[in-house]
Amino acid sequence: MIKLRILGCSGGIGGNARTTSMLLGNDILIDAGTGVGELSLTELSMIDHVFITHSHLDHIACIPFLVDSAGFMRDKPLTVHATEATLEIIRQHIFNWKIWPDFTHIPNTLRPFMRYNTIQLGQTVELQGRRITVLPANHVVPAVGFQIDSGATSLVFSGDTTTNDALWKVVNGIANLRYLIIETAFCNAEKELAVRSKHLCPSMLAEELLKLKLNPEIYITHLKPGEVELTMQEIGECVRGFTPRMLQNGQVFQF
């Protein structure tokens, strides 16, 4: 059995809102938004791997602080796993010595605090019995989702995505699917914005879930602060055949 703890699942900040990050066991992050700030320095030092869905700031904001704060406490590099397109964006625009130092060269290239690992769509990375498979996403930048498989059951995280037939083709083939975490970033009044920014709103979510042939527990992530209650109400009105629940900071999945 493995444990996934939700550190952040909001589409913004303010009050107790924290952006997307999930802690798998005590050594793997799935995305590294502002939710990572919930961890102690000791907990930060135990993280060996970060799997990134895409390069938007709400999903990567804490990688620079994580490696800067805890790198000196570790005896091996932090490994950042992402597609080559996402890694190239991070190299060019974050770890470029202008926004943040390049920790793949600190303290030196032989023993760096951080390293990159390229992953590809459909690839499975196995780490101590936990299988993380790269799933398709459809967003304004190159993006993916992830399937986390304990061997007994699976959890799917959509990442940021809009209408995505390719995702459902894969998801419907996961026989041991127990949980689905899927985004709904905007309320129905902002559907045009959702379409332009390649997110979902409740009416679009309802159409997507019609493609789901399995019956997992469904949790909604990436809700915008200030629109949480409205968006969840609209989801309840639009979605048929499922009862999606709002993902919560601090929520723990064991599977």
pLDDT tens by residue, 86-98 = 999 999 999 999 9
- Residue 4, pLDDT score: 98
Residue 157 token pair: 């995280």
31-63 confidence digits (pLDDT tens): 999 999 999 999 999 999 999 999 999 999 999
Cis status, amide bond into 64, omega within 30 of 0: no
Domain 3-254 adopts which CATH fold? Answer: Metallo-beta-lactamase; Chain A (3.60.15)
Query: Rg of the Cα trace of the chain?
Result: 18
Q: State the burial class of residue 252 (Cβ atoms within 10 Å of its Cβ: 0-12, 13-18, 19+).
A: exposed
pLDDT tens column, 8-39: 999 999 999 999 999 999 999 999 999 999 99
Report in angstroms the alpha-carbon separations of 224 from 17, 84, 101, 135, 186.
Answer: 9, 29, 31, 24, 7
CB atoms within 10 A of CB 150: 20
Mean of pLDDT values over 172-190: 98
Model pLDDT, residue 67: 98
pTM for this predicted structure: 0.97
**Cα–Cα distance between 231 and 245 in angstroms, integer?**
11
